[in-house]
Structure 1
């Protein structure tokens, strides 16, 4: 079936990031996305709630479907939400390379708004959400919970992330993600920039724990298209190293090596049973939201 979700429903990243309130931006993004799904009448895993039943005294009012009430004047419970809540932990790369910009949008800003939208969507489905920020010198963690106040704390901590230094040697924090009997979904948002395989090692360690994992690999359109305007050199944000560029001479080599790199990253993660999505920051968040819902549903299989 043709996907009818359009830019009328989805906010362009540059417009979205003009909304400084993360919670408001997240709500606007998810509402537009869900409206698009309804209009396209898409069927499939994780995209809609197919099981409803009449409200019974004692049911949790959070699971009332008010849209169904408006259409039928009867109270219905979204039963699938009640039965499938999980813990979703958001892992954010806050190394200095996340300051890379394209069209005025940094990877860090895009990561914040993407995480905010995904967390809002997860929380609306009754999931517990947690936040883990990786940067040089340590790891900030906000354990998973599902109450409304926790969502506010999540947005506050997310809003105040400041990228610093290199990606931490995070394998030492593997124990934080062990324990607990229920399967979890780990969502890692990163630019996959590493100097000594530190991100690859972390993902390998986490995949061995048995949780479902999704990696959203952020890339600027200028990186993907080798479009750096009239600049004669680019600078590594983490090491300070400058690299001269000549668009005419290096474009073909760059494109070939980029495709080889992206293919190797994808295959490496698939070998670890990690879902991988390359995210072009020039595009709306709909693909990422769909992928998240699909992976969330798979956590119960």
Structure 2
């Protein structure tokens, strides 16, 4: 039942979002002829059609249809910090729903989809394929996620680097909780493969506002360490430091040419889906 609910939720969300938009091709240089258009300064001269020039004495660019089906791999952080909740809603539940919707959208557009789950010194790997049965298996694996432990150590990353030699779109859903820069080290390694990378940084409203009603003792979900906090006194300095951290993170991602966006667990998925489509349609395999 849980699998069917996730499948139905993703389908309902994406069908409503797309609203009739389902482009699987773009104009560009390819094999299937599409149309001519007038030459414009800056166009690739190799695309000029000299036969049309001979007949009309005008310059035309020959445009073609090119398939944009790609391989999209979803990387999901399932370390214990993803159990953080805002009310009855946890980060991992939001990450699960976001990933399911993006996977459904990618599958709808004919892309191969794969899944990697990072948790407690382990890495679950699911190769990228393009068919509905594979999508159903991906939904099943998302439903099985039970966050625990710390982020996966580099010794377990080898399966990530054993994929296709073509450029892929990597979509990383994480809360970016790290102790020794391990997540950025992973991103740096992935960057060497020249893949397109999108990072969705999952946050909750109560951690953004430091608004945990009635609580003074806070526990680190991954280490078990506790700390006493007077929220009212700490809130202003906390928010200043958090904003600085988020800005520094955004700059680090930009320096690495990684698309980065924070998504709050109380935020509708619409903008995240638009961002995904933008990046997916940038990649030409």
TM over 0.5: yes
1:106 aligned residue: 90
After superposition, the C-alpha distances for 1:27-79 in whole angstroms (9 at most, x for unaligned) are 011112123xx6xxxxxxxx763979xxxxxxxxxxxxxxxxxxxxxxxxxx9
Instruction: Label 1:231 to 1:195 Cα distance change in 2 as closer, same or farther (>3 A).
Output: same
2:136 aligned residue: 152
2:171 aligned residue: 187
1:168 aligned residue: 152
Structure 2 unaligned segments of length 5 or more: list them.
27-63
Range that drifts further, 19-28 or 146-155: 19-28
Contact 1:171–1:205 under 8 Å retained in 2: no
1:49 correspondence with 2:49: no
Instruction: Label 1:99 to 1:144 Cα distance change in 2 as closer, same or farther (>3 A).
Output: same
2:228 aligned residue: 244
Contact 1:98–1:108 under 8 Å retained in 2: yes
C-alpha separation between the residues in 2 aligned to 1:157 and 1:179? Answer: 19
Contact 2:3–2:139 under 8 Å retained in 1: no
Shift of the alpha carbon at 1:136? Answer: 1.4
Shift of the alpha carbon at 1:103? Answer: 2.1
Shift of the alpha carbon at 1:123? Answer: 0.1
Contact 1:127–1:146 under 8 Å retained in 2: yes
1:118 aligned residue: 102
Pairing of 1:90-101 with structure 2 (within 5 A): 90-101=74-85
Contact 1:88–1:129 under 8 Å retained in 2: yes
1:27 aligned residue: 11
Shift of the alpha carbon at 1:171? Answer: 6.1
Instruction: Label 1:213 to 1:261 Cα distance change in 2 as closer, same or farther (>3 A).
Output: same
SS in 2 for 1:21: helix
Range that drifts further, 26-35 or 94-103: 26-35
Contact 2:170–2:196 under 8 Å retained in 1: yes
1:269 correspondence with 2:243: no
Question: Between Structure 1 and Structure 2, which shows a larger proportion of strand residues?
Answer: 2
After superposition, the C-alpha distances for 1:244-301 in whole angstroms (9 at most, x for unaligned) are 1112211111011001110111111111111001001111101110010000011128
Contact 2:123–2:156 under 8 Å retained in 1: no
After superposition, the C-alpha distances for 1:6-35 in whole angstroms (9 at most, x for unaligned) are xxxxxxxxxxxx997211110011112123
CA RMSD of aligned residues (A): 2.2
Q: Once superposed, which parts of structure 1, at least 4 consecutive aligned residues long, lie more than 6 Å away?
A: none
2:53 aligned residue: none
Range that drifts further, 217-226 or 165-174: 165-174
1:141 correspondence with 2:125: yes
Contact 1:178–1:209 under 8 Å retained in 2: no
TM superposition score normalised by structure 1: 0.77
Structure 1 unaligned segments of length 5 or more: list them.
1-17, 39-46, 53-78
Kindly name which structure, 1 or 2, has the bigger radius of gyration based on alpha carbons. Answer: 2
C-alpha separation between the residues in 2 aligned to 1:285 and 1:243? Answer: 33
Contact 2:202–2:265 under 8 Å retained in 1: yes
Contact 1:19–1:25 under 8 Å retained in 2: no
Shift of the alpha carbon at 1:147? Answer: 1.3
How many residues align? The count is 247
Instruction: Label 1:50 to 1:86 Cα distance change in 2 as closer, same or farther (>3 A).
Output: closer
C-alpha separation between the residues in 1 aligned to 2:92 and 2:25? Answer: 38
Instruction: Label 1:256 to 1:104 Cα distance change in 2 as closer, same or farther (>3 A).
Output: same
